[in-house]
Amino acid sequence: MSSRNLDLGLAASSGITVLPDVTTLPTVNQVMAVTQIAGTVVRTGFVNPPPSAGMLPLIGGTLTGPLNLTAPQPLDFNGGAGNYLQYYTATDGPRLRYMAGATEVFSFTDTGTLSLGMTAVGNIAIQIGGSRGAGLSTAVATLTGAALRLNTEQFISFTSADSRTLKFTATGGNHLSYAAGANELLSLTDTVLLTLGYSTANPALIINGNASTNKQIRWQSNGLLRWAMGLVNNESTGNAGSNFLLQSYDDTGASLMANVLTVTRSSGLATFGGALTVTGAATLSSSLRVNGTVGFNNTAPVAKPTVSGAKGSNAALASVIAALVSYGLVTDTTTA
């Protein structure tokens, strides 16, 4: 075809004005196109063949307006090889998703939920810092699988001025550190040593619960309960309830052996559930009442003795000496 003008025979028969493309000659594989512009005005020319169904090839040029895709039509990035972006309505709601073949690499829902690696695709990572060419080892942090990995001394900041930070540090031995500025508020070492507070602070460990619950700290050996300490008994009026209790458990960890110590909150009364041995000095600032037998100076407890005999014949004196000996208070070296 040598002419740039194309007469379709429409003007004389139907009053249609034909505007031929006088600036473009056909190239290899181009086809003729007839476009109706407005009313009876028609433009003719040559264009590339139409793409395959559902695909819009963009080769060069500038997109000056929006590109509207009708869901679930994809936006392809790899010539139909399966890498595409798509707005998709799933059973759990609509979302924008990026696909690698049949694998959904990430999705972002209309409610603001971002999901990475919804199916098993190996190690999916978000790299923060570093350079792509140098690999993830140079990154400040990576999100791999379900874990956020920070390099040593890199931190998570909870304030814009980095005044509250959480990090893993080797300073003073490997430990997880939560700090307020230069003050380390919490430290947890690799050997499971927990430290709260710093030198000028008044640290506190608070265990809170409503008035009808027990609040306890428990110790275990190989997963089996050994000791429990905390507050028991529901609270009511008159300062009742929330009494302090220390308990011991057997080797199975399932059976309570003893309520070793109970302290009543309202009165401060301490009750020991077993024998009490004091190896050092003990000072009582109030009266002492012992409900049971008593022994002194490592003497076995005995029942309260009865003093008998007439005082005039010194039988009473002999009886008192015998009673004191039985308590372990004196040693009898008298003679008849």
What is the 3 state secondary structure string of 172-217? Answer: CCCEEEEEECCEEEEEEECCCCEEECCCCCCCCCCCCCCCCCCEEE
Q: Which residue has the tokens 């936006």?
A: 75
For residue 3, the model assigns a pLDDT of 41
Confidence grade of residue 2 (pLDDT, cut at 50, 70, 90): very low
pLDDT band at 131 (very low <50, low <70, confident <90, very high): low
Amino acid at 178: Y
- Sorted by sequence, the CB contacts under 8 Å of residue 78 that are 6+ apart come out as 84
Is pLDDT at 7 greater than 90 in this prediction? Answer: no
In angstroms, the CA 228 to CA 249 distance is 8
Q: pTM score > 0.85 for this model?
A: no
Cα distance between residue 270 and residue 292, in whole Å: 17
Greater confidence (170 vs 51) lies with: 170
Contact 144, 123 (CB under 8 A): yes
Predicted confidence at residue 80, as pLDDT, reads 66
Half-sphere exposure of 59 (CA within 13 A, CB side): 6
Give 39's pLDDT tier (boundaries 50, 70, 90). low
Label the pairing between strands 147-150 and 141-144: antiparallel
H or E segment and range at residue 226: strand 224-232
**What is the pLDDT, as a whole number, of residue 22?**
46
**What is the residue-wise DSSP string for 67-107?**
----TT--EESSTTSSEEEEEEEETTEEEEEEEETTEEEEE
| Residues 336, 80: Cα–Cα separation, whole Å | 121
Beta-carbon contacts of 27 under 8 Å, excluding residues fewer than 6 positions away, are: 46
Are the C-beta atoms of 19 and 37 separated by less than 8 Å? yes
* pLDDT attached to residue 74: 83
Peptide bond into 20 cis (omega under 30): no
pLDDT in tens, 159-183: 767 788 898 888 888 999 999 988 9
Which range of 7-11, 69-73, 194-198 scores highest in mean pLDDT? It is: 194-198
Q: Does the pLDDT value for residue 1 go beyond 50?
A: no
User: Mean per-residue pLDDT for 221-227?
Assistant: 95
Judged against a pLDDT cut of 80, whether residue 18 lies above it is answered with no
Tell me the average pLDDT of the chain: 77
Q: Which residue has the higher pLDDT, 15 or 192?
A: 192
Residue 243's pLDDT is 97
177, 187 contact by CB (below 8 A)? yes
Structure-token pair, residue 305: 């003795």
Contacts of 141 (CB under 8 A, 6+ apart): 127, 128, 129, 148, 149, 150, 151, 154
pLDDT value at residue 4 = 43
Please check whether residue 232 is in contact with residue 239, taking contact to mean a CB–CB distance below 8 angstroms.
no
The pLDDT tens digits for 248-288 are 999 999 999 999 999 999 999 999 999 888 889 989 898 88
- The yes-or-no verdict on residue 5 having pLDDT over 90 is no
